[in-house]
Amino acid sequence: MKPRVPAMFDRLDTLEWQLCQRLAGLSIHRPWRWSLRLASKAGDWPLWVALISVQPWLHGRDGWRLLLQYVLTALVAIAVYRWVKTRLCRERPFITFSGIACQEPARDRYSFPSGHTLHAVMFCTLSATHAPWLLPSLIPVATLIAVSRVGLGLHYISDVVAGAAIGYTLALLSLSLAG
């Protein structure tokens, strides 16, 4: 039995589909599509695992505490993301609208929220506190990761906005708990 999708998503889907279709349509240009796919792959985990792994090198003895904080925050983020995604069950735009092309295989059927964007914003926010000098490199990458989710036809814009909001909130919570 398919879970009931909130009526809010029916309205959002209708409002967003044309813009999503236009953004996904830009991926017909090979260099742009290649850039979006590369950003999407980086947002899968390699970039964030590298960022977590270098904390001891960047911060010395305190880096091990930061490594643990980043790992625990990421694990909580995964749990929250999966809980929300499996409860709300918003189908991906390329499933709902035939005019939106999917340029990369989706891991599952549902799109809300964007986990790639959630983690990108979360790790940028953590880095803003502990290594702000990394932000000129991280912010453009995180932005491209968020854009890639819509540009590849995998997410609605509201999925990306929600992912960013959840990631930011989890990072702030983590920072406040770490004191």
- Which helix H or strand E contains 124, and what residues bound it? helix 115-130
pLDDT at 127 over 70: yes
pLDDT at 157 over 60: yes
Q: How many CB atoms lie within 10 A of CB 39?
A: 24
Q: What is the pLDDT of residues 131-151, one digit of tens each?
A: 999 999 999 999 999 999 888
Confidence (pLDDT) at 3: 54
* Mean pLDDT, residues 18-39: 75
d(CA 176, CA 179): 5
Q: What is the pLDDT of residues 84-100, one digit of tens each?
A: 999 888 888 887 777 76
Confidence (pLDDT) at 12: 67
Closest by CA to 19, choosing from 147, 165, 162, is 147
pLDDT at 1 over 50: no
Q: Name the region of 147 (left: φ>0; alpha: ψ -120 to 50; beta: rest).
A: alpha
Q: Is 29 exposed, middle or buried (0-12, 13-18, 19+ CB in 10 A)?
A: exposed
Closest by CA to 97, choosing from 3, 37, 13, is 13
pLDDT at 14 over 90: no
The lowest-confidence range among 5-14, 36-45, 60-69, 161-170 is 5-14
